[in-house]
Copies of this chain bind each other. A is one copy, B any other.
Amino acid sequence: METATAFDRFRDGYEERDWDDGADGTVRIALVGLGWFARDEALPAIADCDYADVTATISGSAEKARTVADEAGADTALTYERFHDGEGSDAYDAVYVATPNARHLEYVETAAELGKDVICEKPMEATVERAEAMVDACEAAGVTLMVAYRMQADPVMRRVRELVADGFVGDVAQAGGTFAFPMFANEDADPDQWRLDPDLAGGGSLYDIGVYPLNTLRFVLDADPTSVQGSLTSPDERFDGPVIDEHAAFLLEFDGGVQALCRSSYGSHGESSLRIDGNEGAITVENAFSPRGERTVVLERDGRRSRHEGLGSNELTEQFDYFAYCRLTGRTPTADGEHGLVDMQALDGIQTAAAGGRRVDLD
């Protein structure tokens, strides 16, 4: 590809939705699980959507459901129990599941039984088996299941993927990604949160944030890992290692031979980055995985280097609009259940590899 053209792409029009050729209507979404991410990130993001609207809120607490429904301007507020009983299900077309990982399946199953399409937070579930059951439930009911990999809707990552496909870096050889932050540097961090409970989370930093470099590399490289190796450690006793890893480092081999080095951490200095190296160039994304953009992209090729700062938009708005657009136009979202299962197998494989000291080959 023309190097100059590629360099220009991060200045001009990269935010245009390459997937959106218009749709009629609005998808009414029920939020299931009202933790900080659903409330502080997803809710305002959906408020800005063209094709999606929050019309119901569902929580363990009737009071919390009501409070958030009022914030969202939604008429329907339900407890989990009433949701499972199918009450008020005329008020929404689809559900967004943002409960603790090990409680995704039960809400997806109910949604499927009610004939509602589903967008489910990552990682899909706490175990491969439960994630498979989720896929089966949605298939049996004929509803759509999309996994909420927000980076796949991020305009910066979509443009990076396009550059890689167009050969900007030549043949991709090596890649890597990091998502790390020191959880307890925030004094409000709760040591009893579900993310630190092996039964509810399924894994530690690896499952919660290591899945970002894993899945985003799959997306950007348009390839799946064929094997994994890894190391999981938890020097800080607040992390219930080895299941709840404080630090994860893992090495992926991808279909086509690309090697990728990734890490996640709840205990090391804040860092969020992605890098793709080929025989002709490199692409680096800084601040790669934080919500609401502000990414920096560095392009290198032919002895030239260009740095593009302050890129991106609210990729959650993009994600929910993409999900709704797919429903309105009868399309299957790219990040469907089968796609999500590959990550679950890789995450589980990294745990097995780290524990046993052996490379795990993926199917």
Indicate if A142 sits at the interface (CB-CB under 8 A): no
Beta-carbon nearest neighbor of A358 in chain B: B358
Beta-carbon nearest neighbor of A253 in chain B: B231
Question: Is the CB–CB distance between B229 and A269 below 8 Å?
Answer: no
Question: Is the CB–CB distance between A251 and B269 below 8 Å?
Answer: no
Minimum CB–CB distance from A354 to chain B (whole Å) comes to 9
Question: Is the CB–CB distance between A282 and B271 below 8 Å?
Answer: yes
Beta-carbon nearest neighbor of A230 in chain B: B251
Q: What's the Cα separation between A169 and B173 when bound, in Å?
A: 31
Question: Is the CB–CB distance between A269 and B278 below 8 Å?
Answer: yes
Chain A: how many interface residues by the 8 Å CB criterion?
42
Interface residues in A34-78 (C-beta closer than 8 Å to B): none
Contact with B along A250-268 (1 / 0, CB 8 A): 1101000101111101011
Report chain B residues within 8 Å CB of A265.
Answer: 173-174, 277
Report chain B residues within 8 Å CB of A313.
Answer: none
Contact with B along A186-214 (1 / 0, CB 8 A): 00000000000000000000000000000
Indicate if A338 sits at the interface (CB-CB under 8 A): no
Report chain B residues within 8 Å CB of A269.
Answer: 169, 277-282, 300
Beta-carbon nearest neighbor of A171 in chain B: B235
Interface residues in A159-187 (C-beta closer than 8 Å to B): 169, 171, 173-174, 176, 180, 182, 185
Question: Is the CB–CB distance between B176 and A261 below 8 Å?
Answer: yes
Q: What's the Cα separation between A185 and B301 when bound, in Å?
A: 12
Report chain B residues within 8 Å CB of A260.
Answer: 249
Number of copies of this kind of chain in the complex: 2
Q: What's the Cα separation between A268 and B233 when bound, in Å?
A: 30
Minimum CB–CB distance from A355 to chain B (whole Å) comes to 11
Interface residues in A134-148 (C-beta closer than 8 Å to B): none
Q: What's the Cα separation between A187 and B195 when bound, in Å?
A: 53
Beta-carbon nearest neighbor of A236 in chain B: B279
Beta-carbon nearest neighbor of A264 in chain B: B174
Report chain B residues within 8 Å CB of A361.
Answer: 357
Question: Is the CB–CB distance between A251 and B261 below 8 Å?
Answer: yes
Contact of A174 among B180, B253, B300 (CB under 8 A): B180
Beta-carbon nearest neighbor of A357 in chain B: B359
Report chain B residues within 8 Å CB of A171.
Answer: 235
Indicate if A247 sits at the interface (CB-CB under 8 A): yes
Minimum CB–CB distance from A210 to chain B (whole Å) comes to 12
Q: What's the Cα separation between A169 and B176 when bound, in Å?
A: 22
Q: What's the Cα separation between A261 and B345 when bound, in Å?
A: 22
Minimum CB–CB distance from A350 to chain B (whole Å) comes to 11
Minimum CB–CB distance from A19 to chain B (whole Å) comes to 30
Q: List, sorted by A's number, 29 A–B pairs whose CB atoms are closer than 8 Å.
A: A169-B269, A171-B235, A173-B235, A173-B246, A173-B247, A173-B267, A173-B268, A174-B180, A180-B277, A182-B279, A229-B230, A229-B231, A229-B251, A231-B253, A233-B253, A233-B257, A233-B259, A249-B259, A249-B260, A251-B251, A259-B263, A261-B261, A261-B262, A268-B278, A269-B278, A269-B282, A357-B358, A357-B361, A358-B358
CB within 8 Å of B: which residues of A?
169, 171, 173-174, 176, 180, 182, 185, 227, 229-231, 233, 235, 246-247, 249-251, 253, 257, 259-263, 265, 267-269, 271, 277-282, 300, 357-359, 361
The 9 closest A-B pairs by CB, nearest first: A357-B359, A173-B268, A249-B259, A269-B282, A268-B277, A261-B261, A229-B229, A358-B358, A269-B277
